[in-house]
């Protein structure tokens, strides 16, 4: 669990550096403009002081009209300059900065795809991603950076106003500060509580989004309609939405009351300052002109101090949200670190491997050992839940074993940089993606450098038995899927397309995890058999609960309850009796 409260300046250096790398000219420009605005603010205060002074004297008949007009002109100019700076700065902020902001989203995405995949199994990981996404989509980092640069002119203005009012009497300064204190404290508290509330709402917000997806996703809508369950899901969604909204509403109401009380205090401050000025005027310490100027200056000090304090309170809130982004970045990542993978020479070996999923008590793999030789065609069989998929992920280095080792040519798979390691791998997963792109992209995306090599793509299509389908659909450049008005394929055709994609990749190890389960047993058997032929010369591992494939494999690994029950060839295992032989006799009628 990450620490909730973050100090306001904790991420300042990091945010500035990150924004500077993305948009150096804009960041430098903004800082310069803010400095200019700060200098102008100081000048504005000095001009204002002289103007008030002269106005007072003029009211008493001690200053001339021309002098008054001269100071009034300078005062207007001094007020106009910061406004002009603000205008230019606003244009820089709104246009280029927000346009380049997508870079931060790209960075976040790169990070998401480089976390160890096992983390996807943890709900808290998805909460972290959600919060980081929220921060960056809501311009959290840019606003945090602006929060700091905005301080500069504010501080100068505040200092200047203190100086002006202190010239009347020093008592006014503590009076103004005290009068805004409750309102400022309320705002600090608001920021802190709002962040905690949002943080606690993450899981519910994600749930709400998920339910919305279920309600409106195209494939799911079909099921909902036939099952008439949409009302049920809609109510669940409405409950999730209401619970977030009600909590937020209650929170805002509670705070509105507090803010009102705080503002009342400010009002007392103004009343007290008027009283004090009357006393001073009465005692002859202040002239009538000064009385008017003093009351105006008091109001301005109050609002200046309040802006400064509020800015601090907001900044605290922004620091919390910026922290969500960086906390996520501080997570472990994998990618280029590690040795370059030289390619398989001889063997892949699992040695005494144990593995269990986060949040699960049971070992998904327990004491698993076997060896696969280069070029072998291996079939892993076993009943549902026996650990086949988990094993394939451990072999591929996607999940790290808890105990034991996975060795490529005798070296731990963990030592290799993931990027270079996966380049030699082609993994076709159970839950493959149906890209709503063209046929070309659906097959070619696994080897983008060859995406325009029609011959190669058709070769892969042929190997996966979809050459005819591609021709029927109208060629490689036909868009697939209904999402964007393309040609829709059947479930089985999509699966074959995923296999074509896997085959298209230049890999030395091909791993196929039953992406054929929706096909009828004979078609599946036929495709997988062909798959074994197609991977001739490569090391291939197929995971299947269809046992018939074993006849064509060089080696069969039989999994049962997370353990390796048997290994051998089809004939050896039949002769041996036991789990494989039992399953074979159960399923044999399909293949005969
Ligand atoms: P198979 O591929 O043979 O069907 P799996 O490798 O998917 O089996 O699952 C092996 C065991 O691990 C099962 O008991 C399953 O319930 C459990 N398991 C699989 N995935 C997860 C997960 N993400 N979190 C917790 N347990 C899991």
Residue among 364, 368, 379, 431 whose CB has most ligand 1 atoms within 8 A, to mutate: 364
Nearest CA to ligand 1 atom 1: 385
Supply the pLDDT for residue 592.
Answer: 63
Alpha carbon 479 to its chain centroid, in Å, reads 29
Pocket of ligand 1 contains residue 366 by CB under 6 Å: no
Q: Which atom of ligand 1 is nearest to the CA of 393?
A: 6
CB distance 346 to 409 below 8 Å: yes
Q: Which contiguous run of DSSP H or E holds residue 425?
A: strand 425-428
CB distance 262 to 183 below 8 Å: yes
Q: How far apart are CA 134 and CA 130, in angstroms?
A: 6
Q: What is the largest CA-CA distance in the chain?
A: 120
Residue among 119, 379, 389 whose CB has most ligand 1 atoms within 8 A, to mutate: 389
CB distance 546 to 589 below 8 Å: no
The two tokens of residue 270 are: 């103004």
Pocket of ligand 1 contains residue 364 by CB under 6 Å: yes
512 forms beta bridges with 428, 542
Tell me, yes or no, if the pTM score tops 0.85.
no
Those residues with Cβ within 8 angstroms of residue 304's Cβ, 6 or more apart along the chain or in another chain: 154, 157, 158, 161
Q: How far apart are CA 323 and CA 211, in angstroms?
A: 28
Pocket of ligand 1 contains residue 275 by CB under 6 Å: no
Those residues with Cβ within 8 angstroms of residue 592's Cβ, 6 or more apart along the chain or in another chain: none
Q: 258 C-alpha vs ligand 1 centroid, how far in Å?
A: 52
| Cβ-count burial 82-117 (b if 16+ within 10 Å, e if not) | beebbeebeebbeeebeeebeebeebbeebbeebee
User: In sequence order, what DSSP letters do the residues of 307-375 get, joined into one string?
Assistant: HHHHHHHHHHHHHHHHHHHHHHHTS---SS-SBPP---SSEEEEEEEEE--TT--S-SEEEEEEEEETT
Nearest CA to ligand 1 atom 13: 385
Pocket of ligand 1 contains residue 387 by CB under 6 Å: yes
Q: Which atom of ligand 1 is nearest to the CA of 360?
A: 25
Supply the pLDDT for residue 519.
Answer: 62
CA distances from 176 to 80, 137, 146, 161, 261 (A): 26, 38, 27, 11, 16
Q: What is the pLDDT of residues 188-244, one digit of tens each?
A: 899 899 999 999 998 899 999 888 888 887 666 666 666 667 788 888 899 999 999
CB distance 370 to 351 below 8 Å: no
Q: Which atom of ligand 1 is nearest to the CA of 384?
A: 4
373 forms beta bridges with 347
Q: 401 C-alpha vs ligand 1 centroid, how far in Å?
A: 14
Q: How far apart are CA 462 and CA 458, in angstroms?
A: 6
Q: 354 C-alpha vs ligand 1 centroid, how far in Å?
A: 13
Pocket of ligand 1 contains residue 388 by CB under 6 Å: yes
Nearest CA to ligand 1 atom 25: 357
Indicate the Cα dihedral angle 57, 60, 61, 63, nearest 10°. 0
Residue among 360, 427, 559 whose CB has most ligand 1 atoms within 8 A, to mutate: 360
Q: Which atom of ligand 1 is nearest to the CA of 559?
A: 3
Q: Which atom of ligand 1 is nearest to the CA of 391?
A: 6
Q: Which atom of ligand 1 is nearest to the CA of 545?
A: 3
Nearest CA to ligand 1 atom 16: 385
Sheet harboring 539-544: ordered strands across?
A: 425-428, 509-513, 539-544, 377-382, 555-560, 563-568
Q: 362 C-alpha vs ligand 1 centroid, how far in Å?
A: 10
Pocket of ligand 1 contains residue 121 by CB under 6 Å: yes
- Cα angle, residue 393 at apex, residues 389 and 396 outer, rounded to 5°: 140
Pocket of ligand 1 contains residue 382 by CB under 6 Å: yes
Looking at 60-171, list the stretches that DSSP marks H as alpha helix, in order from N- to C-terminal side: 65-92, 98-100, 102-112, 123-137, 140-168
Q: 385 C-alpha vs ligand 1 centroid, how far in Å?
A: 5
Those residues with Cβ within 8 angstroms of residue 502's Cβ, 6 or more apart along the chain or in another chain: 426, 427, 428, 446, 510, 512
Q: 33 C-alpha vs ligand 1 centroid, how far in Å?
A: 58
Supply the pLDDT for residue 358.
Answer: 85
Nearest CA to ligand 1 atom 5: 387
Supply the pLDDT for residue 139.
Answer: 87
Q: 429 C-alpha vs ligand 1 centroid, how far in Å?
A: 14
Nearest CA to ligand 1 atom 23: 121
| Cβ-count burial 170-196 (b if 16+ within 10 Å, e if not) | eebbebbbebbbbbbebbbebbbebbe
Supply the pLDDT for residue 247.
Answer: 94
Pocket of ligand 1 contains residue 390 by CB under 6 Å: yes
Q: Which H, E and C letters describe 107-134, residue by residue? A: HHHHHHCCCCHHHHHCHHHHHHHHHHHH
Nearest CA to ligand 1 atom 17: 364
Q: Which contiguous run of DSSP H or E holds residue 427?
A: strand 425-428
| Per-residue tens of pLDDT for the chain, all 592 residues | 444 556 788 899 999 999 999 889 888 988 888 888 888 877 776 787 788 778 878 888 888 888 889 988 988 888 888 788 888 888 877 766 667 888 888 888 888 877 777 777 778 888 888 899 989 888 889 889 988 888 888 888 888 888 878 888 888 888 888 998 998 899 889 989 999 999 999 889 999 988 888 888 766 666 666 666 778 888 889 999 999 999 999 999 998 999 898 888 888 988 998 898 899 888 888 777 778 778 888 888 888 888 888 888 889 889 988 999 998 888 776 666 789 999 999 999 999 999 999 888 899 999 999 999 999 999 999 988 899 999 988 998 888 899 999 999 999 998 998 888 888 888 888 778 888 889 999 999 888 899 999 999 999 999 888 888 898 888 999 999 877 788 888 888 888 898 899 889 888 899 888 755 556 667 777 777 777 777 777 899 999 877 888 888 999 999 999 999 999 999 999 999 999 999 888 887 776 6
Supply the pLDDT for residue 336.
Answer: 64
Q: 402 C-alpha vs ligand 1 centroid, how far in Å?
A: 15
544 DSSP 8-state letter: E
Residue among 359, 390, 396 whose CB has most ligand 1 atoms within 8 A, to mutate: 390
Q: 216 C-alpha vs ligand 1 centroid, how far in Å?
A: 29
Pocket of ligand 1 contains residue 385 by CB under 6 Å: yes
């Amino acid at each position: 669990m990450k620490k909730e409260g973050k100090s306001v300046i904790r991420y300042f250096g990091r945010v500035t550096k990150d924004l500077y790398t993305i948009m150096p000219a804009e960041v430098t420009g903004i800082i310069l403009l803010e400095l200019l605005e700060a200098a102008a603010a100081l000048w504005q205060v000095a001009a204002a002081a002289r103007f008030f002074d002269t106005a007072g004297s003029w009211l008493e008949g001690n200053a001339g009209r021309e002098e008054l007009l001269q100071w009034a002109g300078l005062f207007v100019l001094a007020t106009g300059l910061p406004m002009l700076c603000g205008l230019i700065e606003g244009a820089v902020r709104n246009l280029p900065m927000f346009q380049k902001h997508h870079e931060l989203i790209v960075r976040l995405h790169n990070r998401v795809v480089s976390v160890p995949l096992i983390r996807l199994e943890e709900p808290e990981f998805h909460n972290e991603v959600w919060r980081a996404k929220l921060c960056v989509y809501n311009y959290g980092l840019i606003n945090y950076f602006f929060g700091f640069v905005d301080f500069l002119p504010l501080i100068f203005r505040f200092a200047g106003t203190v100086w002006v009012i202190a010239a009347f009497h020093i008592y006014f300064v503590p009076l103004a500060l005290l009068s805004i204190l409750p309102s400022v404290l309320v705002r600090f508290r608001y920021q802190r509580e709002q962040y905690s509330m949002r943080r606690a709402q993450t899981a519910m917000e994600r749930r709400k989004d998920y339910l919305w997806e279920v309600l409106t996703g195209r494939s799911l809508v079909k099921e909902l309609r036939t099952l008439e369950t949409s009302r049920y899901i809609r109510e669940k969604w409405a409950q999730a939405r209401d619970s977030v909204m009600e909590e937020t509403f209650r929170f805002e109401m509670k705070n509105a009351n507090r803010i009102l009380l705080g503002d009342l205090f400010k009002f007392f401050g103004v009343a007290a300052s008027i009283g004090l000025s009357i006393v001073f005027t009465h005692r002859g310490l202040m002239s009538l002109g000064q009385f008017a100027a003093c009351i105006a200056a008091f109001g301005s000090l109050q609002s200046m101090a309040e802006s400064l304090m509020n800015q601090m309170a907001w900044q605290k809130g922004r620091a919390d949200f910026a922290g969500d982004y960086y906390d996520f970045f501080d997570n472990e990542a994998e990618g280029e670190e590690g040795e370059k993978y030289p390619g398989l020479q001889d063997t892949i070996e699992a040695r005494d491997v144990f593995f269990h999923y986060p949040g699960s008590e049971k070992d998904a793999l327990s004491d698993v050992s076997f060896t696969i030789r280069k070029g072998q065609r291996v079939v892993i069989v076993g009943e549902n839940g026996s650990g086949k998929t988990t094993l394939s992920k451990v072999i591929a280095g996607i999940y790290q074993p808890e105990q034991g080792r996975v060795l490529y040519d005798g070296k731990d798979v963990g030592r290799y940089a993931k990027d270079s390691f996966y380049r030699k791998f082609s993994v076709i997963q159970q839950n493959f993606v149906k890209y709503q792109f063209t046929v070309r992209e659906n097959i070619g995306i696994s080897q983008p450098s060859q995406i325009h090599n029609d011959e190669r793509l058709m070769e892969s299509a042929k190997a996966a038995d979809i050459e005819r389908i591609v021709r029927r659909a109208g060629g490689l450049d036909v868009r697939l899927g209904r999402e964007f008005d393309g040609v829709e394929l059947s479930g089985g055709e999509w699966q074959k397309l995923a296999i074509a994609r896997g085959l298209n990749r230049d890999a030395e190890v091909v791993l196929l995890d039953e992406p054929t389960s929706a096909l009828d047993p004979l078609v599946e058997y036929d495709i997988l058999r062909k798959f074994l032929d197609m991977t001739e010369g490569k090391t291939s591992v197929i995971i299947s609960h269809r046992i018939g494939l074993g006849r064509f494999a060089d080696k069969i690994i039989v999994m049962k309850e997370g353990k390796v029950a048997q290994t051998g060839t089809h004939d050896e295992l039949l002769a041996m009796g036991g789990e494989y032989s039992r399953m074979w006799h159960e399923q044999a009628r399909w293949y005969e």
